[in-house]
């Protein structure tokens, strides 16, 4: 790469924001894809891939993506849990890559729960 200008520095910083947010572990929202054996068999990997692709194309910089094990409701996999800081988590069930894109757009970015895909508001308490 040739000599950089101050604008180039800003551009590099902007492009890498998602990486830095994710490595620092602090974001505005967290999407957890349930990746148990049942989830993977039902297509959780494809859902995850779709989610990451959407995050890339939309230049989303403040959303963390994590995985967790089976949520216990194996018949409704693939499932994800969306947690926006300061709001109760929402679980989505029977997802497909297309539905995942919709959830990202309307809930994670838009702030409105996509009621037709949602299982319930809230999450089990863990002690």
91 touching another protein, by CB under 8 A: no
Distances (CA, A) of 90 to 79, 87, 96: 10, 9, 17
29, 42, 47, 48: residue in contact with another protein (rule CB under 8 A): 48
28, 46, 62, 68: residue in contact with another protein (rule CB under 8 A): 68
19 touching another protein, by CB under 8 A: yes
52 touching another protein, by CB under 8 A: yes
Helix (H) or strand (E) holding 65: strand 63-68
126 touching another protein, by CB under 8 A: no
The answer to whether 78 and 67 have CB atoms below 8 angstroms apart is: no
- Minimum Å distance from CB 71 to another protein? 11
Distances (CA, A) of 74 to 39, 79, 105: 7, 9, 25
């Amino acid at each position: 790469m040739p000599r950089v200008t101050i604008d180039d520095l800003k551009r590099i910083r902007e492009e890498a924001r998602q990486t830095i947010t994710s490595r620092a572990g602090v974001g505005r929202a967290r999407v957890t894809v349930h990746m148990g054996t049942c989830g993977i068999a039902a297509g959780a990997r494809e859902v995850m891939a779709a989610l990451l692709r959407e995050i890339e194309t939309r230049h989303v910089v403040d959303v963390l993506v994590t995985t967790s094990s089976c949520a216990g409701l194996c018949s409704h996999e693939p499932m994800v849990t969306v947690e926006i800081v300061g709001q109760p988590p929402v679980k989505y069930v029977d997802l497909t890559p297309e539905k995942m894109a919709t959830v990202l757009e309307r809930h994670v970015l838009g702030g409105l729960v996509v009621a037709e895909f949602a299982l319930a508001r809230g999450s089990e308490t863990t002690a």
